[in-house]
Amino acid sequence: MAEAQTIPVGSTTSGQIAVAAESTVATRMSAPPSFDVADFPVPHGREEEWRFTPLERLRGLHDGSAVATGDGMKVEIEAPEGVTVETVGREDARVGRAGTPVDRVAAQAYSAFEKATVVTVPKETVLTEPIRIAVHGEGGTAFGQQIIELGAFAEAVVVIDHTGDAVLAGNVDYLLGDGAKLTVVSVQDWDDKAVHVAQHNALVGRDASFKSVVVTFGGDVVRLHPRVTYAGTGGEAELYGLYFTDAGQHQEHRLLVTHNTPHCKSNVAYKGALQGDAAHAVWIGDVLIEAKAEGTDTYEMNRNLVLTDGARVDSVPNLEIETGEIVGAGHASATGRFDDEQLFYLMARGIPEYEARRLVVRGFFAELVQQIGVADIEERLLSKIEEELEASVA
Amino acid sequence: MATLEIRDLHVTVEADNATKEILKGVDLTVKQGETHAIMGPNGSGKSTLAYSLAGHPKYTITEGTVLLDGEDVLEMTVDERARAGLFLAMQYPVEIPGVSVSNFLRSSATAIRGEAPKLRTWVKEVKETMEQLHMDPSFAERNVNEGFSGGEKKRHEILQLELLKPKIAILDETDSGLDVDALRIVSEGVNRVRETGAVGTLLITHYTRILRYIKPDHVHVFADGRIAESGGPELADKLENEGYEAYVKGGASA
């Protein structure tokens, strides 16, 4: 059921893969979930959930020393007709309903934000245009809470774009009513110095479909924690991710799907390319199938393509199953170097090296990009991938 | 007229922390319009010759020269060699996930021809060539070599040969692993290219079987990293009857 492999990476690259042996979803967190930052000790870096993260580069988000600047962060929301956008206080019933902070930074964000933004698509409203949320950092530090709520049988696409320079701890909650369909594309296209830590909680209603596409290109440190739970039977979650980790960047994606109701599906597929010295990508893929979640069907996959020497990947898939009455469960992780034989084959057909690399990397991501289903985002991603590759050649 | 001149070619490879000489002074001249069969036992260095000419990084040239129309091939990168007119049909073509055959062929033709082929004539050209090789049109939408059968891989190599029209074509054991029907189809493709008179062919093979379909002008026996004997087509008949034993050290076959 489990497959984990390392394609030989040669003696000079540090690309590697680690597979968790005994650590389990329930025990790997050092404190139970809480909305209060005081319930979490300041991490020192050896905790299971922090051991890959460069704490010294979090600009104080983890130890209470980061203070909101009040400005230096712009959020613009473009919502089609029929969608409501409001700001609410912590006491609003929707705030925190999708999930509870599981680490100190998420709790810090929850404890420190001033107003939460709630975007609501009323029941049975089917949007033809995406909701666009542009988060642009202008050097500030911010704590945020966004909630996207879809009523029963509503359908929407939400694009959340992160650009500029910022220190941001911002949680995002997705509440899906029964039969609702939500696609969320979260693009982290930050400038080089940005630090972004966030927990994404999705609560998937009965027969609802949630599709999350996480795209991380920029930033100094990006650490995202997408999580899914189900509010009823028949729910589906597809979690896709693409990342392109450059020299010096730390990009960490920690996923947890909790199958807590029967007959739900989940499919996780994350792919990353790395290039340059000290490029570090971390992927943690946890799936928990609780005893009552009979009929679960789940698969998670992580693939990494190491383009140059000096990059590092930590990929840790973990599947915890408390019932045997399931349709299927599996995971796979593989990290490989750029294949010199592929390069030779293409070049032997006259294709210059740069163009050959571009073809291979585009091919590596293509299958995943096609899953997004939002044409302008697909185009943008492909051209962004090309841009990244061009930068590496220059 | 295009000419490939190989002079005193010595090639080494790193294996098990040791440097091993595989080619020990190869001399060969292939002219446009000619077909040379290179035959030899396993491990004699036939494939090393093919990959060294194409520029595979695994092989180190320690001595000798390779000239294509007087240009130094050994100074060229792999893609430059291809654009100069060298083509290697590989014995084990690699899979390239996510890259479709049609995208690959067009990228390659664009590189070799120096400009993107005109879409309408290109589509027709590819379609007709595929038909001649008995390839289903759906083939163009599959990823390069991904899930191809042995026969499909070889047809795909010959499809490229026909489309790219090189000056010198090196066919590395194109016949291996093919059944009789596939061998005939692939050979017909090679012959279509040969009949143009525009290509010099270096046909590397272990077996004489393919020579029933592709008639060589010259036959060379390769043994222990060099050409041990050269002759006309009659040399192939001799090998057919007697095997390689006479060319293997001590008479024992490897």
User: Can you tell me which residue has the tokens 């960047």?
Assistant: A249
Chain B, window 160-179: residues with a beta carbon less than 8 angstroms from a chain A beta carbon: 160, 164
- CB contact (8 A) between residue A351 and residue B97: no
3-state DSSP assignment of residue A388 = helix
CA B160 – CA B153 distance, rounded (Å): 11
Instruction: Please tell me the distance in Å from A335's CA to the nearest CA on chain B.
Output: 15
- CB contact (8 A) between residue A347 and residue B77: yes
How many Cβ atoms are within 10 Å of A173's Cβ, its own excluded? 23
- CB contact (8 A) between residue B96 and residue A347: no
* The model's pTM: 0.82
CA A215 – CA A197 distance, rounded (Å): 14
The pLDDT of residue A372 is 82
> Comparing C-alpha atoms, which of A275, A390, A360, A255 is closest to residue A317?
A255
Q: State yes or no: pLDDT of B253 exceeds 90.
A: no
Q: Which residues of A touch B79 (CB under 8 A)?
A: 347-348, 350-353, 356
- CB contact (8 A) between residue A350 and residue B90: no
B83 vs A: CB within 8 A: yes
Q: Which residues of B touch A353 (CB under 8 A)?
A: 77, 79
Q: Which residues of B touch A342 (CB under 8 A)?
A: 94-96
Angle between helix B119-132 and helix B150-164 axes, rounded to 10 deg: 140
The pLDDT of residue B205 is 94
**Percent share of chain B, pLDDT over 90:** 88
Q: Which of B94, B112, B168 to mutate to test the interface with A (most CBs of A within 10 A)?
A: B94
The pLDDT of residue A70 is 82
- CB contact (8 A) between residue A356 and residue B79: yes
Q: Which of B77, B107, B115 to mutate to test the interface with A (most CBs of A within 10 A)?
A: B107
- By C-alpha distance, the chain B residue nearest A352 is B79
Mean pLDDT of chain B: 94
Q: What tokens does B237 get?
A: 């008949």
3-state DSSP assignment of residue A35 = coil
Tally the residues of chain B: 254
The pLDDT of residue A392 is 66
- CB contact (8 A) between residue B79 and residue A345: no
Task: Considering only the beta carbons, identify the residue of B79, B96, B99 that sits closest to A347.
Answer: B79
The pLDDT of residue A27 is 52
Mean pLDDT of chain A: 90
The pLDDT of residue A308 is 87
- CB contact (8 A) between residue B97 and residue A364: yes
Phi, psi dihedral angles at B101 (to 5 degrees): -55, -45
Task: Considering only the beta carbons, identify the residue of A340, A349, A359 that sits closest to B82.
Answer: A349
- CB contact (8 A) between residue A359 and residue B107: yes
Q: State yes or no: pLDDT of B58 exceeds 80.
A: yes
- CB contact (8 A) between residue A344 and residue B56: yes
Q: Which of A11, A337, A351 to mutate to test the interface with B (most CBs of B within 10 A)?
A: A351
CB B154 within 8 A of CB B96: no
- CB contact (8 A) between residue A355 and residue B99: no
**Range B3-35+43-232+241-248 classified under CATH 3.40.50.300:** yes
- Report how far apart, in Å, the C-alpha atoms of A55 and of each of A20, A50, A66, A253, B145 are: 22, 8, 13, 15, 45
- By C-alpha distance, the chain A residue nearest B77 is A347
- Per-residue pLDDT reduced to its tens digit, A6-60: 333 322 334 444 444 444 555 567 889 999 999 999 999 999 999 999 999 999 9
Mean pLDDT in residue range B230-242 = 92
The pLDDT of residue A16 is 42
Q: State yes or no: pLDDT of B145 exceeds 90.
A: yes
Instruction: Please tell me the distance in Å from B7's CA to the nearest CA on chain A.
Output: 22
The pLDDT of residue A393 is 55
Q: Which residues of B touch A351 (CB under 8 A)?
A: 79, 107-108, 111
> Taken in order B126, B132, B133, B139, is the CA torsion positive or negative?
positive
- CB contact (8 A) between residue A345 and residue B107: no
Using a CB–CB cut-off of 8 Å, the residues of A that contact B are 339-342, 344-353, 355-356, 359-360, 362-367
Q: Which residues of A touch B164 (CB under 8 A)?
A: 349-350
- When computed from its CA atoms, the radius of gyration of chain A, rounded to whole angstroms, is 20
Q: What is the DSSP string of chain B?
A: --EEEEEEEEEEEEETTEEEEEEEEEEEEEETT-EEEEE--TTSSHHHHHHHHHT-TTEEEEEEEEEETTEEGGGS-HHHHHHHTEEEE-SSPPPEEEEEHHHHHHHHHHHHHSSPPPHHHHHHHHHHHHHHTT--GGGGGSEETTT--HHHHHHHHHHHHHHH--SEEEEESTTTT--HHHHHHHHHHHHHHHHTT--EEEEEES-SGGGGTS--SEEEEEETTEEEEEESTHHHHHHHHHTTGGGSGGG---
CA B185 – CA B205 distance, rounded (Å): 17
- By C-alpha distance, the chain B residue nearest A356 is B107
Phi, psi dihedral angles at B181 (to 5 degrees): -65, -50
Q: Any idea where the domains of chain B sit in the sequence?
A: 3-35+43-232+241-248
Ranges of residues in chain A whose predicted pLDDT is under 50: 1-23, 394
- Per-residue pLDDT reduced to its tens digit, B62-118: 999 999 999 999 999 999 999 999 999 999 999 998 899 999 999 999 999 999 999
Sort residue B183 into left (φ over 0), alpha (ψ -120 to 50) or beta.
Answer: alpha
3-state DSSP assignment of residue A342 = helix
10 Å CB burial of residue A350 (0-12, 13-18, 19+) is: buried
| Parallel, antiparallel or unpaired: strands A209-216 and A181-188 | parallel
Q: What tokens does B37 get?
A: 């069969």
Instruction: Please tell me the distance in Å from B79's CA to the nearest CA on chain A.
Output: 4
- CB contact (8 A) between residue B88 and residue A348: yes
Instruction: Please tell me the distance in Å from B240's CA to the nearest CA on chain A.
Output: 33
- CB contact (8 A) between residue A345 and residue B164: no
Q: What tokens does A74 get?
A: 């712009």
Question: Measured at the alpha carbon of residue B170, what is the angle toward residues B104 and B109, in degrees to the nearest 5?
Answer: 25
- ipTM above 0.90 for this complex: yes
Instruction: Please tell me the distance in Å from A361's CA to the nearest CA on chain B.
Output: 9
- Confidence band, pLDDT 50/70/90 cuts, at residue B16: confident
- CB contact (8 A) between residue A348 and residue B107: no
CB B216 within 8 A of CB B208: no
B97 vs A: CB within 8 A: yes
Q: Which of B96, B101, B159 to mutate to test the interface with A (most CBs of A within 10 A)?
A: B96
Instruction: Please tell me the distance in Å from A159's CA to the nearest CA on chain B.
Output: 26
- By C-alpha distance, the chain A residue nearest B107 is A351
- CB contact (8 A) between residue A346 and residue B96: yes
